[in-house]
Amino acid sequence: MPLLLSFVNSNKPPAHRFCRLFRQELALFVGLLATSTLGVQAQTTTGTTPSQPKKYQATAPKTQPFGAAAFAPSGKTTLRWLGMGGFFLNSRGTAIMIDPVLGGFDMPLLISFPIAAKAVPRLDAVLLTHADNDHYSVPTTADLAPVTKTFHSTVYVDSLLQNRHLPAAGHTIGDTFRVGQVQVKLTRADHAYQNAYPGMSKRFFQQEDACGFWLETPDGTVWAPGDSRLLPEHLQYPTPDAILFDFSDSEWHFTLAGAVKIANAYPNTPLLLNHWGSVDAPDFSPFNADPAQLAKLVVNPGRIKVLAPGEAYTLKRVKK
C-alpha cells in the first residue's frame, strides 16, 4: 500500500480516520482513468459534479469460493488469488498464505473473499511482505493464528506480531528458511514511503522493513515481490515460473511502466495479477490497474492470468 494509505494497523482511530479522509481527497487527483476489457467487469461511479465524466474501474471476475479440500495434500503446486494482494499456495500439502486479507478492510470492496479466515483449516505459514493493512491485516491474522504454525516477515513486522503474542519469526533481506516442501527467501523491496511525508509517522522506516518472497517449490519457483518501487535487481533474477504481479501505476509501487519492464525481463513467465480489481477506488492508482492496459504493453500477453479470487492455478515450469 503506498502514499497515505494506512501504513500500520493503528490502535488510534481518530488519526486513522483523518488519514483515510485525507487519502480520499488526494485520490481525486492521483488516479488513472481505467477502462475494462479482457473479460473483466467494469465498475462505474458517477462524478461528484455534473461536469465530471464517469469513472471506470476494472474489477475481478466473480469469486470462486474454496474450502478445506483446497488444503489437502496433492501431487502438484496450486496457487489461488485471495483478492487484494494476497495468495494461497498449496505445494504438495504445504499450505502457505501470502499477505492474506480476508475481512476487516477499511475501504469499500468490489469482491467477496473466496474463504473466510475462520474457515481456514490449517496453515504451515503466513508470509507478510510489510505492515500496510492491505497486506498485514490485524483482523485476518488474529483469526488465522489458531491454525497457523508460524507468521514470517521482516524483523520490523515480526516485532508487531510479537507484540500481539502471535507465533512469528523475523528475517533479514536475503535470509532463507524452509516451510515444509517450500524454501523461502526474502527479496529486497523499496516501500519506505512514510519517510517522504513529514508528520506521517514518528518512526523512521528502513528499506528492509518491507520485502518480497522467492519461493522454491517442487514444481517451480514463485516470486511475490510485495509492494516496491522498481530496483535494478528486480530485472536480474533467475527466471521465475510465476510472478504474483502488481502492475498498479503508483509511484511507490513499480508503476505501470516499471511493471512492464519486469514482465518483459521474464518474457515467458506467467503473470498472476494481484493488487487490482478488489477495492472500490477508481481514482486511486494503487488499486485501479486494468489488465487491458497491461495486455497492450507486455511481450507475450497470453501469459497474463486474470484469475478470479479463489480460482486455482497449477504451477508449471517455464522454458528458461
Cα dihedral: 205, 242, 255, 233 (round 10): 60
pLDDT in tens, 133-189: 999 999 999 999 999 999 999 999 999 999 999 999 999 999 999 999 999 999 999
pLDDT at 4 over 80: no
pLDDT of residue 319: 87
Once rounded to an integer, what is the mean pLDDT over residues 110-124? 98
pLDDT in tens, 249-260: 999 999 999 999
E-only strand ranges, the chain: 41-45, 55-59, 77-83, 86-91, 94-98, 123-127, 148-154, 168-171, 176-179, 182-188, 211-217, 220-224, 242-246, 271-274, 304-305, 312-314
Phi, psi values for residue 186, rounded to 5°: -80, 130
Contact present, 104 and 144 (Cβ < 8 Å): no
**What domains sit in the chain, N to C, each tagged with a CATH number?**
13-314 (3.60.15.10)
pLDDT of residue 149: 98
Closest by alpha carbon to 170, among 182, 181, 156?
A: 156
pLDDT at 37 over 50: no
Once rounded to an integer, what is the mean pLDDT over residues 279-285? 95
Looking at every residue in the chain, the average pLDDT score rounds to 88
Distance, in Å, from the CA atom of 1 to the CA atom of 47, rounded to the nearest integer, reads 25
